[in-house]
Structure 1
């Protein structure tokens, strides 16, 4: 089957210390319609190419294991450069483990491509990265609206949708969290567990509050959950419908009930200091911890949906 060239032509920078891999990637990118390709043989060449470019690159492919600065270190430096805050950065890797994937995502990686690089996978990963970029643009537009006094455009935000919360290392957009789960599952290193925090009165709060106040309240809840779970290094996202979902790399000794008790205590403090009216205080329910099914290599793909379903089963009970 022929691979259709992408309709979105990009200026791409490929970084790898192996000349053969640089040639392969450049050839495949050209076949996909991306003919404006720059190659760099390592971290120093990559950063020099970025700093000397008249226009920012639209996408970067970076080998994760290189002499000197690793691909993760390069990604972290790229994210600190103006114009590269959200540029797709695809990590190229021969083999990796879950902690390295988390470190790369924490540094700002968008996705992973397995070696040897294949044409079809390269096309899928680039198209996926562009899709993530568009979803991020939508939420960034809403974030920008919130920073102005005229923020009526927030009316476009529905209760079922992810909200434009501030991004941090531990708080990400839901699309990015979904992508992280898909990457780990695709690479066969999905050992993370998921936990859902459901705001029981979320719909009531959404209807009662102005949208900006509702988003601010969600941000307060996110900060509270992260403060409690910080030692576990969670990656948290707001999925919509009052659901926060946390991905935990190592939750073998953690129980949802124990986390729930700590969250309840922290929420009481939040209500006290934030001055929320009693009827506008969020009530959080913590679902059961959901772990990947060891016998099913594809089960990780629905991990977040299973976590959200688990908290709703508690509601039904």
Structure 2
């Protein structure tokens, strides 16, 4: 994995280059400024596979560099890991909105960093497989976005929508928030009403485009409060809000739907999407496991709008459970186990 590490601290660069290269899994190049990083990117005979970026650098900071890299055609989906001493939410939010894949704070543990880079490598491999699929589709003279079959549960990517993170990036964002020990953060689920019916009746292209328009409306509706968003599949969006002023509540659904209807009408959509907003769930970000469980509870809160206990049954014993639910539970239980092992190192012996 070819990594470009960018930091104005030569000691950090030397440490990264020596330690990561010694693992035998990484080939590390270094740059001591954003400008030098861009020059190396331009000169590189083969594209880099991953970037490690410090935030605090003179002239061009790491967030600005992240945005520049994302604007390059060859690096639209390359993993970018912010490696920084800045732990404030402001920098976390700005980094992910600029296109960061993950966020690691200094001082860092090399075993954790290796784990994060391995995860980034898996993301890179998934993107490569997706690119292969696109190339096959082109050879068959099909437009991927218009003709690729999508399941209702698929978390359709919306990279061109402001503050709309991908599935993995959103999970990483929530995990990083948990490290800041915030108590004013909430997560809210927003669902397309009758999403299953729309998916069955519409073509793949129309359903995908209508979902994108719903995402654009949600982004525009929360622009002032800068909520961080993600589409999770099954017609459900999640919104992370910070502070009471940013809260989305069920009472705001009519205003949101009015905006969505206006936007869809201006683009001459034949379908009318309606969104419903669940109640806010406090994330109580004292642990990563608690943050992940909050995401599940936010989706479950949607069903209380209609007195529906479907979601409750889904999480109950013997109920049918979706792949997304199983994945969320697995991540949550993994986080709980990791939290436990961190707090009680003696358990690692067993």
TM-score, normalised via structure 2 length = 0.77
Do the aligned residues in 2 keep the contact of 1:193 with 1:292 (CA within 8 Å)?
yes
Do the aligned residues in 1 keep the contact of 2:182 with 2:284 (CA within 8 Å)?
no
Q: Which residue of 1 aligns with 2:99?
A: 108
CA drift at 1:44: 2.9
Moved more, 58-67 or 257-266: 257-266
Given the alignment, which residue of 194, 202, 205 partners 1:209? 202
Call closer, same or farther: CA 1:168–1:92 in 2, change over 3 Å: same
Call closer, same or farther: CA 1:214–1:111 in 2, change over 3 Å: same
Moved more, 100-109 or 81-90: 81-90
Q: Which residue of 1 aligns with 2:230?
A: 237
Q: Which residue of 1 aligns with 2:80?
A: 89
Q: Which residue of 1 aligns with 2:216?
A: 223
Q: Which residue of 2 aligns with 1:80?
A: 71
Alignment gaps of 5+ in structure 1: 1-9
Q: Which residue of 1 aligns with 2:276?
A: 285
1:112 & 1:175 partners in 2: Cα distance? 12
Structure-to-structure mapping, 1:156-195, within 5 angstroms: 157-189=150-182, 191-195=184-188
Call closer, same or farther: CA 1:73–1:276 in 2, change over 3 Å: closer
Call closer, same or farther: CA 1:137–1:305 in 2, change over 3 Å: farther
Give SS of 1:314's match: coil
Alignment gaps of 5+ in structure 2: 309-350
1:286 & 1:49 partners in 2: Cα distance? 46
1:182 & 1:17 partners in 2: Cα distance? 27
CA drift at 1:126: 0.5
Is 2:117 aligned against 1:126?
yes
1:238 & 1:49 partners in 2: Cα distance? 35
Structure-to-structure mapping, 1:42-61, within 5 angstroms: 42-61=33-52
Q: Deviations over 1:69-104 (max 9, x none)?
A: 211122122222332222212111124200111111
Call closer, same or farther: CA 1:105–1:310 in 2, change over 3 Å: same
Is 2:30 aligned against 1:39?
yes
CA drift at 1:213: 1.2
Is 2:90 aligned against 1:99?
yes
Q: Deviations over 1:254-282 (max 9, x none)?
A: 350342121132244356445555xx532
CA drift at 1:128: 1.9
2:91 & 2:207 partners in 1: Cα distance? 35
CA drift at 1:207: 0.8
Q: Deviations over 1:158-193 (max 9, x none)?
A: 111112445333223222222211222245457532
CA drift at 1:293: 1.8
Give SS of 2:163's match: coil
Q: Which residue of 2 aligns with 1:30?
A: 21
Given the alignment, which residue of 190, 196, 207 partners 2:189? 196
Call closer, same or farther: CA 1:35–1:234 in 2, change over 3 Å: closer
CA drift at 1:111: 1.1
Call closer, same or farther: CA 1:18–1:308 in 2, change over 3 Å: same
1:177 & 1:138 partners in 2: Cα distance? 21
Given the alignment, which residue of 154, 162, 165 partners 2:148? 154
Report how many aligned residue pairs link the two structures: 305
Q: Which residue of 2 aligns with 1:247?
A: 240
1:45 & 1:240 partners in 2: Cα distance? 40
1:262 & 1:141 partners in 2: Cα distance? 42
Do the aligned residues in 1 keep the contact of 2:187 with 2:295 (CA within 8 Å)?
yes
Task: Tell me the C-alpha RMSD between the 2 structures.
Answer: 2.9
Given the alignment, which residue of 37, 58, 61 partners 1:67? 58
Do the aligned residues in 2 keep the contact of 1:142 with 1:153 (CA within 8 Å)?
no
